């Protein structure tokens, strides 16, 4: 039987492809975004304890209450507002599930969803599976700023959702308070919800502060805000994230969540809750930690031909290779993994219609030795070409 794909143009993601190529080539992998250093010993210990205590059966659909209470406390510390763990906070399988559930809860057949290119790859397939269509608005290098006039012109009767991601993967740019005000003014009188992907909420550099939709009274009343302990606790494989939204929106999100994953791994939720109870503000050093890594790699690469682009946040760094080669980024990444033995991610797959640019994304959530080894290989390659 011929199987008619619902997503015929969706292939294996560039992250999986480059991680596979890194293994094949014995390359240093700065491609996919995950740490190569251990998690906090106290977090591992908490998991061992809760398993031994027997926290091994189904968790409640909305998340274990101990964790939702810790999340409410964390949100209060970060955004000076109390959210109700019973009606406004849902634990999900990473940020990814929260994104998917929010989109399914809002988007109907024929609806339009505004996203910004370069866009994280999970948004568009979820919109299409819901029967909607993405309207993609480019953020143009080198500054990757929002063009709110362009957004206004892109809105239609069918626009149902806008997805913003700040700090933004892969551009490493941020939406500031002025951007959120501009966005609020645009959607004030329209039936448009907002999906705010804030998984890098704690990774902003050079003293910048995160402008969360949760701290914006007008926006939070119509937003799903998505977060990830994978990013915040350096544990991407745990797949524990959460979504914060007003009660009516949370109720709709949970309708999707309960028939999607139903509930998230019970001992992992208990372990994160226990860890946060013992290490309050575990995330407070994240910006300093990653800024040191950003500066270390940038210092090693500057002047080599791989020019670091100023990064405001996320645990990524863009690198401009225009001085070395004029070719396409996907081909150049393949050449780098083969010849320099360093895996990186090209930027063009994040665009529907890529502008002229010669940029690669590297992940800096790596041990210093890994960053040093990658930089040495890149510099050596640059000398050769």
Which residues contribute to the site for ligand PLP (CB under 6 A)?
A: 33, 94-96, 120, 165, 169, 197, 199, 228, 230, 236, 241
Edge-first strand listing for the sheet containing 159-165: 89-93, 240-244, 223-228, 193-197, 159-165, 112-117, 133-138
3-state SS record for 348-362:
HHHCCCCCCCCEEEE
Q: For ligand PLP, give the closer residue by CB, 199 or 272.
A: 199
Q: How far is the CB of 228 from ligand PLP (least distance, A)?
A: 3
Looking at residue 237, the DSSP 8-state letter turns out to be: G
Q: How far is the CB of 95 from ligand PLP (least distance, A)?
A: 3
3-class DSSP assignment, residue 216: coil
Q: How far is the CB of 117 from ligand PLP (least distance, A)?
A: 13
Q: For ligand PLP, give the closer residue by CB, 85 or 230.
A: 230
Q: How far is the CB of 97 from ligand PLP (least distance, A)?
A: 7
Q: Which residue is nearest to ligand PLP (CB)?
A: 94
Residues contacting residue 139 through CB under 8 Å, at least 6 positions apart: 116, 117, 118, 145, 146, 147, 168, 171, 173
Q: How far is the CB of 375 from ligand PLP (least distance, A)?
A: 23
DSSP output for 238-297: G-EEEEE--HHHHHHHHHHHHHHT-S--HHHHHHHHHHHHHSTTTTTTHHHHHHHHHHHH
Looking at residue 336, the DSSP 8-state letter turns out to be: I
Q: For ligand PLP, give the closer residue by CB, 121 or 176.
A: 121
Q: How far is the CB of 165 from ligand PLP (least distance, A)?
A: 5
Q: What are phi and psi of 357, to 5 degrees?
A: -165, 155
Residues contacting residue 141 through CB under 8 Å, at least 6 positions apart: 171, 309, 355, 357, 359
Q: For ligand PLP, give the closer residue by CB, 31 or 33.
A: 33
Residues contacting residue 109 through CB under 8 Å, at least 6 positions apart: 130, 131, 132
Q: How far is the CB of 302 from ligand PLP (least distance, A)?
A: 25
Q: For ligand PLP, give the closer residue by CB, 165 or 370.
A: 165
């Amino acid at each position: 039987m011929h199987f008619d794909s619902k997503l015929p143009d969706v292939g294996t993601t560039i992250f999986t492809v480059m991680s596979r190529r890194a293994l094949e080539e014995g390359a240093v992998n700065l491609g996919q975004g995950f740490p190569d250093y251990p998690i906090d010993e106290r977090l591992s210990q908490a998991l061992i304890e809760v398993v031994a205590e027997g926290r091994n059966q189904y968790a409640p659909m909305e998340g274990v209450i101990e964790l939702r209470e810790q999340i409410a406390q964390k949100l209060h510390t970060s955004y000076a507002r109390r959210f109700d763990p019973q009606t406004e906070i849902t634990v999900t399988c990473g940020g990814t599930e929260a994104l998917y559930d929010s989109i399914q809860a809002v988007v109907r057949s024929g609806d339009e969803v505004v996203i910004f290119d370069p866009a994280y790859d999970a948004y568009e397939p979820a919109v299409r599976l819901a029967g909607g269509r993405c309207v993609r608005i480019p953020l143009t290098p080198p500054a990757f700023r929002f063009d709110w006039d362009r957004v206004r012109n892109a809105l239609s009767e069918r626009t149902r959702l806008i997805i913003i991601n700040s700090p933004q993967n892969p551009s490493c740019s941020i939406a500031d308070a002025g951007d959120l005000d501009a966005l609020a003014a645009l959607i004030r009188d329209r039936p448009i919800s907002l999906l705010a992907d804030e998984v890098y909420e704690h990774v902003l550099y050079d003293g910048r502060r995160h402008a969360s939709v949760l701290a914006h009274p007008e926006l939070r009343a119509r937003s799903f805000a998505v977060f990830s302990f994978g990013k915040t606790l350096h544990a991407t494989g745990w797949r524990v994230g959460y979504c914060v939204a007003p009660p009516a929106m949370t109720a709709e999100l949970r309708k999707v969540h309960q028939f999607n994953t139903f509930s998230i791994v019970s001992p992992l939720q208990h372990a994160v809750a226990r860890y946060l109870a013992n290490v309050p503000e575990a995330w407070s050093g994240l910006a300093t930690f990653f800024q040191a890594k950003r500066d270390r790699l940038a210092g090693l690469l500057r002047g080599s031909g791989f020019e670091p682009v100023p990064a405001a946040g996320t645990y990524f760094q863009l690198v401009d290779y225009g001085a070395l080669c004029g070719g396409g980024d996907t081909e150049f990444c393949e050449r780098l993994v083969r010849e320099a033995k360093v895996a990186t991610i090209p930027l063009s797959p994040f665009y529907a219609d890529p502008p002229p640019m010669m940029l690669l994304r590297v992940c800096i959530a790596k041990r210093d030795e890994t960053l040093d080894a990658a930089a040495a290989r890149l510099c050596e390659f640059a000398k050769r070409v």
